[in-house]
Structure 1
């Protein structure tokens, strides 16, 4: 049988070689692209167990030279959280390094990465094997750092807990849950007894508890001067004094803390019936924050007025007016403090108001013609035959 064969012409052969040459690189490139589908991610901790916040993770298959001299086809940055991630990695068996400032810190010698795998590779330089290879000097420095850091962490944790207690106690005071607030702030002051603001908040809880108990006693028809109630006021006064003293002794006294502490102390002393101590405390508040003197003196006047201390309330009202001449309610308290001293002229049988009383009432109406006390003040002035010098208009009945 005759074999049938064929020959490829030289021209055709050359053309085929060209086609093969063109096709081969395309096929290889496509295979390489398809293979580069792996990725890597992880977290990096330094010898103190704290995240490294800058540097990079490098991958190589070169195991023949020093780390600094190797070629690294893949380099991935470490972020501020100590994390890194990278994609587009050709599958293979890699050495993975951690570098910082071009210095190798740690490595994992055998890291196989398969196709389509997202490889997790963490670095924890606080492991005993790593620490044991450190120089004595570096280990000593590490221990000192860890000790300092532990103190910082402990202090931060303590501060966070105190802030939580303080926030909750303030909310409890606002809601009238005084016993809960007292419990929280006693814990806080025991934990950090040198912090004035904690004692202020404890005092607020104790004062609130006392006033709530006094109100309940009046409703029940019992004495608001019960020793248990007075003890609550005494406890509050002690806390406020502690706050003021601690603040004054601190390296950077806070005027607001001092002002608030003395302001509240003034209220507690008034509840205890000590008008002199109350006035002294308000004076201290005004001294601590001169820009708020008008407010503090008015608080003094209102507190003493509500406590029935009319003479002292009138004197405090004068201080409030001197500090803030536009404080209408201070004039009202002054007038109210003076009106009980009014007399009756035996000849004319007319009411004679003491000096300054009519003027105080008139000034109140000038500043607050529609104020809460305007109708009462107008009635008093008319009752004693004094002119009403204001734009006050009585409401329709």
Structure 2
């Protein structure tokens, strides 16, 4: 009997062997996952500054023309000139810096390995890059460096002046006038054409003068000592410089002018120049008409404290005209006028000069509970006048 045999085909044989429990080796082995490489770096242009826009591209396609070349990995450049990204396929890469569609720089034969952290910087100040530039391009770079250097130096100077100004203002606020004077003397020496620096120096000098005068009164010595008067003169000189420089600037500041004139008024009055002080306060009011009431009140108060009572009364009237609701202006007017009150030697009756009683009464009308109300009511009662306002004794 003839036996018949057959040869199992590949698929059939595999199926039968699998059914029979035989295991076949796998023809396709599973590949291990490849860890991506991290690439990052800094891009610096030919002037030595960070390139703040563009992108870094990586490719292994060196044969194609640039316009047809494919770039599988593209990373943007940030405002600091830095870039960062991941390359998932190891290999030897060509890296290029692009701004818009223009290639500026490249590095070839960059070996990128799986899982590595690779730094790739593009420095266009390197010799081989600069050597390829045309003479005209090199000239432009040098001109840019010069201008940029000047701008950098100017910015550094401004930053230092701002720091000194901030330091001096804080010192003035804390009463550390010598520290403020030192800072602003340095600042005005570095930039003598900046008005605000002189004004701040004046503030420090005025504060120092006031402190010296106060100390003299406490020690029962002369607050008009020549050394103290000189401090006020120094402050006035600084304020005037600040005023003149501000006026000569391209954009004069009304705020700076008004503040400087206001402080100048104090410095002049405290050295005995009441006429000059009045002129300064009037100029402050002209610089900022909306604050005229405050400046004229300051004038009146400063003159009253300096003993110039007649001038103080005139200034108080200007303050009242500018701001009829300013109660303290009426108080100063009354104080300036009461010094001229007369006493009848026969009856001992006190007679206040014209306008004095009305000024006191108006103060009480506007500020019946004001800090001076008890004092004013006492003065009126003391000279035989009746308080006509809503003021009631005993109130704060």
Same fold by TM-score greater than 0.5: yes
* 1:261-276 paired onto structure 2 within 5 Å: 261-276=260-275
1:213 partnered with 2:200: no
User: Could you say which residue in structure 2 is the equivalent of 1:43?
Assistant: 42
Change beyond 3 A, Cα 1:13–1:71: farther
User: Could you say which residue in structure 2 is the equivalent of 1:310?
Assistant: 309
Change beyond 3 A, Cα 1:310–1:13: farther
What CA distance in whole angstroms lies between the structure 1 residues aligned with 2:27 and 2:283?
94
User: Could you say which residue in structure 1 is the equivalent of 2:377?
Assistant: 378
Q: For residues 71-90 of structure 1, give each alpha carbon's deviation from its aligned partner in whole angstroms, at most 9, with x where no partner exists.
A: 21111111122111111421
Deviates more, 1:384-393 or 1:351-360: 384-393
Q: For residues 296-315 of structure 1, give each alpha carbon's deviation from its aligned partner in whole angstroms, at most 9, with x where no partner exists.
A: 00000111111111111111
Going by fraction, where is helix more abundant, 1 or 2?
1
1:92 partnered with 2:88: no
**Alignment partner of 2:260: what SS?**
helix
* 1:151-162 paired onto structure 2 within 5 Å: 151-162=150-161
User: Could you say which residue in structure 2 is the equivalent of 1:3?
Assistant: none
Q: Gaps spanning 5+ residues in structure 1: where?
A: 1-5
Is the 2:325–2:366 contact (alpha carbons within 8 Å) kept by the matching residues of 1?
yes
What CA distance in whole angstroms lies between the structure 1 residues aligned with 2:298 and 2:55?
63
Q: CA RMSD in A?
A: 2.3
**Alignment partner of 2:339: what SS?**
helix
* 1:235-384 paired onto structure 2 within 5 Å: 235-345=234-344, 349-384=348-383
Q: TM-score, normalised by structure 1?
A: 0.91
User: Could you say which residue in structure 1 is the equivalent of 2:9?
Assistant: 9
Is the 1:270–1:304 contact (alpha carbons within 8 Å) kept by the matching residues of 2?
yes
What CA distance in whole angstroms lies between the structure 2 residues aligned with 1:176 and 1:11?
100
1:101 partnered with 2:128: no
Is the 2:233–2:271 contact (alpha carbons within 8 Å) kept by the matching residues of 1?
yes
What CA distance in whole angstroms lies between the structure 2 residues aligned with 1:200 and 1:183?
14
User: Could you say which residue in structure 1 is the equivalent of 2:122?
Assistant: 123
Is the 2:90–2:113 contact (alpha carbons within 8 Å) kept by the matching residues of 1?
yes
Q: Aligned-pair distance for 1:156?
A: 1.1
What CA distance in whole angstroms lies between the structure 2 residues aligned with 1:122 and 1:54?
15
**Alignment partner of 2:171: what SS?**
helix
What CA distance in whole angstroms lies between the structure 2 residues aligned with 1:103 and 1:8?
64
Is the 1:243–1:261 contact (alpha carbons within 8 Å) kept by the matching residues of 2?
yes
Deviates more, 1:84-93 or 1:155-164: 84-93
User: Could you say which residue in structure 1 is the equivalent of 2:82?
Assistant: 83
Deviates more, 1:215-224 or 1:102-111: 215-224
Q: Gaps spanning 5+ residues in structure 2: where?
A: 1-5, 17-23
Change beyond 3 A, Cα 1:396–1:74: closer
User: Could you say which residue in structure 2 is the equivalent of 1:64?
Assistant: 63
Is the 1:68–1:102 contact (alpha carbons within 8 Å) kept by the matching residues of 2?
no
**Alignment partner of 2:39: what SS?**
strand
Change beyond 3 A, Cα 1:342–1:93: same
What CA distance in whole angstroms lies between the structure 1 residues aligned with 2:269 and 2:395?
39
User: Could you say which residue in structure 2 is the equivalent of 1:146?
Assistant: 145
Q: Aligned-pair distance for 1:140?
A: 1.4
Is the 1:365–1:392 contact (alpha carbons within 8 Å) kept by the matching residues of 2?
yes
What CA distance in whole angstroms lies between the structure 2 residues aligned with 1:347 and 1:233?
46
Is the 2:239–2:260 contact (alpha carbons within 8 Å) kept by the matching residues of 1?
yes
Change beyond 3 A, Cα 1:61–1:14: farther
Q: Aligned-pair distance for 1:276?
A: 0.5
Q: For residues 21-44 of structure 1, give each alpha carbon's deviation from its aligned partner in whole angstroms, at most 9, with x where no partner exists.
A: x974x94xx54xx22511211111
Q: Aligned-pair distance for 1:387?
A: 2.4
Q: Aligned-pair distance for 1:66?
A: 4.0
What CA distance in whole angstroms lies between the structure 2 residues aligned with 1:318 and 1:118?
80
Q: Aligned-pair distance for 1:67?
A: 3.6
